[in-house]
């Protein structure tokens, strides 16, 4: 597990974008797993900037999103279809036919089986982007989720519903269920890139990196993955006992490995 501690949320976005862009440069036909929520927005903004600057190309890429609300139209302003189009897909040269987001209006059981089959047919996910819930969820895999779970329908916790309520208008129906890639599905990605920012994520970050692996903190399962990069800002890393070690590792990495920088 590589842990990168950046100065602030903007630096987290830039460091994460560099990792994703390097993936695209080395493997233009990469299959990307993408996340929604407030944390990835700055990452997508930086990816769009780099695309417009001619630093990265997505023409051969494929993408699979982590999740979608059940019972919500893809054109709804709070659907994750809409989110991804608005923040990323409308601004880069990815083939619309290569984009996959779970269909929240489809029969959930059939859709989950279809989604798993589509990921397998694409050859699996090369780089999976994740955010981190304050309760440790990844995707919509809430605490108590099976660490071997596959894509399925999941009831959201009251805390998750409350945290997302700000995105919906007053009196607007807010979904309480979602289709989500399972933890087992996520863990099959070849490389996982997780972003977390803010002191309100610090306890969850500490449990993920330094706590025991358990279903009550789903993100802790990443300790078992062979290739995970976690990019944090200072606030999110503030409770880590090992933060000085992580700074040291990155210092040694910079001194011993030729750094691949963007020309901008």
| From 67, 68, 111, 233, active-site residue | 67
Distances (CA, A) of 40 to 47, 116, 117, 123, 214: 10, 23, 26, 24, 25
> E-assigned strands of 80-196?
99-100, 127-130, 152-155, 177-180, 191-196
Nearest to 231 by CA among 12, 18, 41, 32: 12
Please say if 137 is a catalytic residue.
yes
Task: Please list the pLDDT of the chain residue by residue as tens digits (264 residues).
Answer: 999 999 999 999 999 999 999 999 999 999 999 999 889 999 999 999 999 999 999 999 999 999 999 999 999 888 999 999 999 999 999 999 999 999 999 999 999 999 999 999 999 999 999 999 999 999 999 999 999 999 999 998 888 888 888 778 777 788 889 999 999 999 999 999 999 999 999 999 999 999 999 999 999 999 999 999 999 999 999 999 999 999 999 999 998 865 544 333
CA angle, 259 as apex, 253 and 261 as ends, to 5°?
145
Q: Is 81 within the bounds of a domain?
A: yes
User: With contact defined as beta carbons under 8 Å apart, do 5 and 233 qualify?
Assistant: yes
Give the total number of structural domains in the chain.
1
What pLDDT score does 258 carry?
58
Contact 175, 211 (CB under 8 A): no
Q: Could you say which of 46, 65, 135, 141 is catalytic?
A: 135
Task: Clarify whether 67 is annotated catalytic.
Answer: yes
Q: Is residue 262 part of a domain?
A: no
Does residue 102 belong to any structural domain of this protein? yes
Q: Is residue 247 part of a domain?
A: yes
CATH label of the domain that carries residue 36: 3.40.50.1360
The confidence score (pLDDT) of residue 233 equals 98
Catalytic residue at 65? no
Domain range for 24 is 2-256
* In-domain check, residue 263: no
Name residue, tokens 């780089």.
Answer: 127
> 39-52 vs 9-26: helix axis angle to the nearest 10?
50
Q: Of these residues, 46, 142, 164, 217, which one is catalytic?
A: 142
Task: List beta partners, residue 63.
Answer: 32, 99
Residue 175 falls inside a structural domain: yes
Residue 174 maps to a domain: yes
Is 77 one of the annotated active-site residues of the chain? no
pTM score of the predicted model: 0.93
Residue 72 lies in a domain: yes
Catalytic residue among 81, 87, 137, 191: 137
Distance CA 138, CA 155 (A): 14
Alpha-carbon distance values, 182 to 54, 69, 140 (Å): 35, 15, 8
């Amino acid at each position: 597990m590589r842990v990168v501690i950046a100065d602030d949320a903007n630096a987290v976005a830039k460091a994460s974008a560099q990792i994703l862009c390097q993936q695209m440069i080395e493997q233009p036909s990469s299959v990307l797993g993408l996340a929604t929520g407030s944390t990835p927005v700055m990452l997508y903004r930086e990816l769009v900037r780099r695309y417009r600057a001619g630093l990265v190309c997505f023409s051969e890429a494929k993408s699979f999103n982590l999740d979608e609300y059940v019972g919500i139209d893809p054109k709804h302003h709070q659907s994750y279809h809409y989110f991804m189009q608005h923040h990323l897909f409308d601004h880069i040269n990815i083939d619309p036919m290569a984009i996959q987001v779970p269909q929240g209006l489809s029969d959930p059981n059939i859709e989950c089986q279809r989604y798993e089959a589509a990921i397998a047919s694409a050859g699996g996910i090369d780089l999976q982007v994740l955010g981190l819930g304050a309760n440790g969820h990844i995707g919509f895999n809430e605490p108590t989720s099976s660490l071997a779970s596959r894509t399925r329908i999941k009831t959201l916790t009251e805390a998750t519903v409350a945290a997302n309520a700000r995105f919906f208008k007053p009196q607007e129906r807010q979904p309480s269920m979602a289709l989500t890639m399972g933890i087992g599905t996520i863990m099959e990605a070849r490389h996982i890139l997780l972003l977390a920012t803010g002191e309100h994520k610090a306890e969850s970050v500490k449990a993920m990196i330094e706590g025991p692996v358990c279903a009550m903190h789903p993100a802790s399962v990443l300790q078992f993955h062979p290739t995970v990069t976690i990019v944090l800002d200072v606030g999110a890393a503030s409770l880590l006992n090992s933060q000085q070690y992580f700074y040291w590792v990155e210092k040694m990495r910079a001194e011993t490995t030729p750094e691949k920088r963007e020309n901008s």
